[in-house]
C-alpha cells in the first residue's frame, strides 16, 4: 500500500468535506498505478466517514490514464460505470486495450493514450458536464468545482 496513495486520498477527502460536495471530480498525483488508485479511493471513503459523496479520481503517467469513480448506494442518481463511460467519451484510444475493474460501487479503467497528463483535462470536463446533465450538479456548482480545481 502506497503512502502517496493514502496521502492523496486524505487530501481529496478534505477537499470534498470543505466543499460539502455530493459529487466531486479531481486529479490525483498517483501516476498510472491502478492498485494505488484503489487505495486512494478506499482512503477517501474511510476519511469521509458518514458523509456520503460520490467522487472521481483521475491520474496519468507516461502512457496510461487511470480513472476511478465511486458512487455510494445512497447517491443512486448515476452509476460509477455510467459516470466513467461518459467521462472518457471522445478520447482517441484502442478500447480493446482498456483494462476495466468493477467492484462494489466503483468502476476503474486504465486507458493507453499518448500524453495522458493532457487528457486529464478532457476527462474532468466531460465528468462535470455529465454530472450537470444528469442533475447531480447545477451550473453554479459545476463552475465552482472547476474553479476549485486543486492543481494550482
The per-residue pLDDT for range 92-125, each reduced to its tens digit, is 777 777 888 999 899 999 988 877 777 888 999 9
DSSP state of 53: -
| 43-82 pLDDT per residue, tens | 999 999 999 999 999 998 888 889 999 999 999 889 999 9
The whole model's pTM is what? 0.86
CATH classification code of 3-134: 3.10.310.40
User: Tell me, what's the pLDDT at 62?
Assistant: 81
Task: Report whether 132 contacts 56 (CB < 8 A).
Answer: no
Distance CA 122, CA 138 (A): 19
Task: Report whether 99 contacts 34 (CB < 8 A).
Answer: yes
Convert 81-98 to b/e letters by CB count within 10 Å (16 or more is b): eebbbbbbeebeeeeeee
Task: Give the helix ranges, DSSP H, for 49-133.
Answer: 80-87, 116-133
Amino acid at each position: 500500500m502506497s503512502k502517496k496513495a493514502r496521502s492523496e486520498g486524505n487530501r481529496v477527502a478534505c477537499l470534498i468535506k470543505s466543499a460539502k460536495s455530493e459529487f466531486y471530480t479531481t486529479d490525483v498525483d498517483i501516476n498510472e498505478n491502478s492498485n494505488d488508485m484503489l487505495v486512494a479511493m478506499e482512503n477517501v471513503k474511510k476519511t469521509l466517514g458518514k458523509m456520503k459523496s460520490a467522487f472521481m479520481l483521475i491520474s496519468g503517467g507516461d502512457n496510461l490514464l487511470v480513472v476511478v469513480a465511486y458512487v455510494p448506494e445512497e447517491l443512486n442518481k448515476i452509476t460509477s460505470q455510467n459516470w466513467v463511460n461518459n467521462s472518457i467519451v471522445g478520447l482517441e484510444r484502442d478500447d480493446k486495450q482498456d483494462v476495466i475493474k468493477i467492484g462494489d460501487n466503483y468502476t476503474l479503467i486504465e486507458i493507453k493514450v499518448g500524453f495522458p497528463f493532457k487528457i486529464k483535462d478532457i476527462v474532468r470536463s466531460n465528468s462535470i458536464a455529465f454530472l450537470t446533465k444528469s442533475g447531480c450538479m447545477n451550473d453554479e456548482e459545476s463552475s465552482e468545482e472547476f474553479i476549485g480545481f486543486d492543481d494550482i
